[in-house]
Amino acid sequence: MTAFAIGMDAGPAFAGPPNIVFILADDMGYGEVSAMNPDRCKVPTPAIDRLAAQGMSMTDAHSSSSVCTPTRYSILTGRYNWRTKLQRFVLYGYSPPLIDSNRVTVADLLKDQGYHTAAIGKWHLGMDIPTTDGKAPGKGHNPRNIDWKGSIQNGPTSRGFDYFYGISASLDMTPFIFIENDRFVGEATAIKKYIREGPAEPDFDAVDVLPIVKQKAVQYIKQQTKERPYFAYIALNSPHTPILPSPEWQGKSSVGRYGDFVMQTDAVVGAIVDAIDQSDSAENTIVIFTTDNGCSAMAKIEQLKEKGHYVSGPLRGSKGDLWEGGHRVPFVLRWPAKVEPGTRSDQTIGQWDLMATCADLLGTELPSGAAEDSVSFLPALQGQPIQSTRQGIIHHAIDGHFAYRAGNWKLMLARGSGGLTAPREKAVAADALEAQLYNLATDIGEADNLYLNEPDIASRLLSLLESDIRRGRSTQGADSQNDIEPIRIWKNQK
What residue segments make up the domains of the chain, in order of their start? 19-382, 393-470
Q: Please, are residues 307 and 42 in contact by the beta-carbon 8 Å criterion?
A: yes
User: What is the CA 241 to chain-centroid distance, rounded?
Assistant: 16
Query: What is the 3-state composition of the chain as percent helix, strand, coil, each rounded to the nearest 5?
Result: 25, 20, 55
**Above 70 in pLDDT, residue 200?**
yes
Say what the alpha-carbon torsion angle 479, 484, 490, 494 is, to the nearest 10 degrees: 140
In this prediction, residue 151 has a pLDDT band, given cuts at 50, 70 and 90, of very high
Per-chain mean pLDDT for the chain = 95
- Report how far residue 464's alpha carbon sits from residue 449's, in angstroms, rounded to the nearest whole number: 20
Average pLDDT over residues 71-92: 97
Write out the CATH class of domain 19-382. alpha beta
Inform me whether the pLDDT recorded for 6 exceeds 50. no
Helix (H, G, I), strand (E, B) or coil at 81: helix
CA–CA distance, 468 with 52 (Å, rounded to integer): 33
Mean pLDDT, range 185-195, rounded to an integer: 97
The stretch 29-39 carries a mean pLDDT of 96
What's the DSSP call for residue 198?
Answer: E
User: Using an 8 Å Cβ cutoff, are 68 and 238 in contact?
Assistant: no
| pLDDT-derived band at 14, boundaries 50, 70, 90 | low
The proportion of the chain whose per-residue pLDDT surpasses 90, expressed as a percent, equals 94
d(CA 427, CA 483): 31
| Residue 432 confidence (pLDDT) above 60 | yes
Predicted confidence (pLDDT) at residue 7 exceeds the cutoff of 90? no
Q: What was the pLDDT predicted at 494?
A: 65
Give the up-direction half-sphere exposure of residue 108: CA atoms within 13 A in the CB hemisphere: 19
CATH architecture of 393-470: 2-Layer Sandwich (3.30)
Q: What is the pLDDT of residue 16?
A: 84
pLDDT, tens digit (0-9, with 9 covering 90-100), for 112-131: 999 999 999 999 999 999 99
The pLDDT of residue 206 is 98
Q: Is the dihedral of CA 6, 7, 11, 12 positive or negative?
A: positive
Question: Band of the pLDDT at 4, cuts 50, 70, 90?
Answer: very low
* Half-sphere exposure (Cβ direction) of 17: Cα atoms closer than 13 Å: 23
Separation between Cα atoms, residue 396 and residue 406, nearest integer Å: 15
For residues 413 and 434, give the distance between their C-alpha atoms in angstroms, rounded to a whole number: 7
- Residue 210 is inside which H or E element, if any? helix 209-223
Task: State how far the alpha carbon of 395 is from the alpha carbons of 54, 313, 324, 327, 339, in Å.
Answer: 30, 19, 9, 8, 28
Can you give the pTM of this predicted structure? 0.96
pLDDT by residue (tens digit) across 277-325?
999 999 999 999 999 999 999 999 999 999 999 999 999 999 999 999 9
429 band by pLDDT with thresholds 50, 70 and 90? confident
pLDDT at 394 over 80: yes
Confidence label for 431 from pLDDT (cuts 50, 70 and 90): confident
What Rg, from alpha-carbon coordinates, does the chain have? 21
Q: How far is CA 227 from the centre of its chain?
A: 29
The helix/strand/coil state of 309 is coil
- SS3 for 326? helix
Q: What is the pLDDT of residue 8?
A: 43
